[in-house]
Amino acid sequence: MSDTPLLELQNIEKHFAAIEVLRGVNLTIRAGQVTALVGDNGAGKSTLIKGIAGIHRFNAGVMLWNGKPITIDSPKTASETGIEFVYQDLALCNNLDVVQNMFLGRERQRGLFLDDEAMEGAARDTLDGLSVTTLSSVRQKVASLSGGQRQSVAVAKAVMWNSKLVVLDEPTAALGVAQTRQVLALVRRLADRGLAVLLISHNIEDVLRVADSIAVLRLGVTVAQPDRQDITGPELIELITMGQSGTRFAKAPSTSTNSN
């Protein structure tokens, strides 16, 4: 297997007028791994994700996809590249069933009519492939599903379209213990299937449980991206809050004449 990252960001900058939101972000995302993106409120995580999604255009820096420069200028381009997003609100329609939600906007047709049989089979195959076993029927209305089941449907919807990178925004927020365990197991299965997963989360315990690599963003700058086995919980919290932790994760010396 190639050691080339699936997606790599180098020295990414983004500003809105005079406000610098991203001031030097480096991020490496590899296929078959869960990369966590963590940082306090205001660290720039949302802006970074919107840039990857093509909602914002970065002002500087380079994006590499399989080692080659790429420009993502719209959500459509992101999807065509193989990047799918599962946002915190899940973007599911309560009045539609699981199959209808998974194919919403991408319905299959047979002649002039919808091919319900093909869509139902594909939805069931995708859910089975992800070992989602908590749904009694793919024809259940989403309104009747639990939070964990909804998250599973949203993730399955994202991986149906030959996606290579799945971005999950706070997938365990507001979930109970059992549902959180279910969703984290699903996240792990995505990586085990060879997909790249970018997990954005405030829950340090969840991150330490499922991530292979953890990128820490602070005040618009990447302060470190250690492998999971190389960092402890207290060190990760110190990186998030102070931008450094002891001597192993100390701030790099500034190359400018300014002290900060």
Q: Which helix (H) or strand (E) holds 11?
A: strand 7-16
Predicted TM-score (pTM) of this structure: 0.88
Alpha carbon distances (Å) from 100 to 64, 83, 113, 126? 34, 21, 14, 14
CA nearest to 169, candidates 47, 70, 62, 69: 47
Domain boundaries, the chain: 7-90+163-242
The CATH number for 7-90+163-242, chosen from 3.40.50.300, 3.30.1280.10, 1.20.120.1200, 3.40.50.1820, is: 3.40.50.300
Show pLDDT as tens, one digit a residue, over the chain (260 residues). 468 999 999 999 999 999 999 999 999 999 999 999 999 999 999 999 999 999 999 999 999 999 999 999 999 999 999 999 998 877 899 999 999 999 998 899 988 899 999 999 999 999 998 888 888 899 999 999 998 899 899 999 988 887 999 999 998 887 888 888 888 999 999 999 999 999 999 999 999 999 999 999 999 999 999 999 999 999 999 999 988 876 677 665 444 434 33
Alpha carbon distances (Å) from 174 to 89, 177, 179, 201? 11, 10, 10, 12
Helices (H), the chain: 45-52, 75-81, 98-102, 116-129, 147-159, 177-192, 204-210, 233-242
114 φ, ψ (degrees, to nearest 5): -70, 140
